[in-house]
Amino acid sequence: MIPFLETAVNPFGSWRDRVKEGAYKSPSGTRIRFDFEDVSRSFEARGTVFEFPGIDNAYVQRTGISSRRYPLTCYFTGATCDLEAASFEAALSEPGIGTLQHPLYGEIPVTPFGEIERRDDLVRAANQSIVTVTFWTTTGVPYPSSSINAESEILRALAGFDVAAAQSFSNSMDLGNESFRASAKATFLDFLNKTEAALESASADIADARQDFQTIVDTVNRSIDVLVGTPLALAAQAVALVQAPGRALSSIAERLAGYQTMADEIIASALATPSQTLVSATALATRSAKIANDFHIADLFLMSAVSGQVLATTEHTFATKREALEAAEATELLFTQVAGWRDTGFTALEAVPSKTQSIDTGDSYQQLQYAVSQTIGRLVEISFSLFPERFVVLDRDRTIIDVAAELYGSVSNDTLDYLINTNSLTGSEILELPKGKRIAYYAQG
């Protein structure tokens, strides 16, 4: 094999020309240089191998690649080698994603992972400290960065959504005559009734929350004739109304289920399906305006329902891993459902002329999407520190008191209520748990 000569014939030059300075920049911004010798990297081609009788070759199903791993032996020399190595150790200890300036493979977002070893050869190697570490590439998704307060980010995004949703609604509605306003009022009240029916149980357990929710409902009902002429104020009231049960201290499952029920009923309404009600592009202008207005009212309620779910997760203290992960799943499910419904609706409205076409600017959607992604990441992150769900099958008839004492070491009212609620025990089961009953509990060990 003829060697690749490093002459003018070679336009790429020598590998020596492509080697750069080695350095690591921590998540906080501290940059540490290091010397190095040989370098390498590795990754795995993931997948499954299927082998079949009588066939000489296997079928290899590829499912992607693993993180790239960059093992490095980092050298620090000179009179301050020990201090430089200590600073490097501190940088490697910071949580979050840093940046590796690899001598040969370029600049890479990484996280140090695995064993980090330091050796100080102060005599034999004449003032030399050595740190061995393996850097892993990481997506950083969907978990929020450790350098930010996820809950604050979520609330900030929700505040932005509230403003953007009201403005988008005001810009989209066509209320140029009394007929349009009367039709919009009827649609709004219809969705308001669906919302009230779906969410009243989510705030029923807490008097203050129930009163706040009912106060907003009553205010909208009394002022609807005025509000329908001022869509910006109407939208602000609607968002506040839908979000109110999210702040209630009732069961998180009840609140999330309430918002899902509300969304299901609105999406199933003929008023919220322009793709079905727009007969053709030549439909009467008045009917087209009504259909578009109905869609935008539904959009306001549905987007607010997602924001209500997000808000509910920030107002709740999660006790178990399952509870946190189920809340993340419910939030993602509703957002995905509403996003798909919006795409279909806006596509249908593209055939409608004039203001009712209402091209979505995406401001409110972007704020809500960010809030949802941060919420899911926060809930997944929270779940890592919560108790896993465990089960025990009763070998004889038991009372909830002795089961609580055995599983939790406590028979306080709070513990008994927790055991009852997490297992959805019926009245007869509260009196006596039958043999063979499967009981879920949450504890270490």
Higher-confidence position of 21 and 146: 21
Phi and psi at 436, nearest 5°, equal 90, -5
State the pLDDT confidence band at 144, using cuts at 50, 70 and 90. Answer: very low
Average pLDDT over residues 185-197: 88
Answer yes or no: is pLDDT of 308 > 80.
yes
Answer yes or no: is pLDDT of 51 > 80.
no
CB of 378 closer than 8 Å to CB of 141: no
State the pLDDT confidence band at 5, using cuts at 50, 70 and 90. Answer: very low
Percent of the chain with pLDDT over 90: 18
Phi and psi at 63, nearest 5°, equal -125, 25
Average pLDDT over residues 53-63: 74
- Predicted pLDDT of residue 331: 92
The single residue listed with the structure tokens 């910006």 is: 232
CB of 68 closer than 8 Å to CB of 102: no
DSSP letter at 388 equals: P
- Predicted pLDDT of residue 417: 85
Answer yes or no: is pLDDT of 280 > 50.
no
Cross-strand partners of 102:
106
Spatial distance between the Cα atoms of 16 and 74, rounded to a whole number of angstroms = 19
Answer yes or no: is pLDDT of 200 > 80.
no
Spatial distance between the Cα atoms of 414 and 411, rounded to a whole number of angstroms = 8
- Predicted pLDDT of residue 206: 52
Q: Model confidence over 235-278: pLDDT tens digits?
A: 888 898 888 888 776 678 888 888 999 999 999 988 888 877 76
Higher-confidence position of 401 and 62: 401
Query: Strand, coil or helix: what is 199?
Result: helix
Spatial distance between the Cα atoms of 355 and 359, rounded to a whole number of angstroms = 9
CATH architecture, domain defined by 17-137: Beta Barrel (2.40)
Answer yes or no: is pLDDT of 358 > 70.
no
The single residue listed with the structure tokens 């649609």 is: 187
Higher-confidence position of 233 and 389: 233
**pTM listed for this prediction:** 0.60
| Total number of residues shown for the chain | 445
- Predicted pLDDT of residue 67: 82
Q: Where are the domains of the chain?
A: 17-137, 150-383, 389-442
Residue type, position 433, single letter: L
Residue type, position 147, single letter: S
- Predicted pLDDT of residue 281: 44
Average pLDDT over residues 421-442: 86
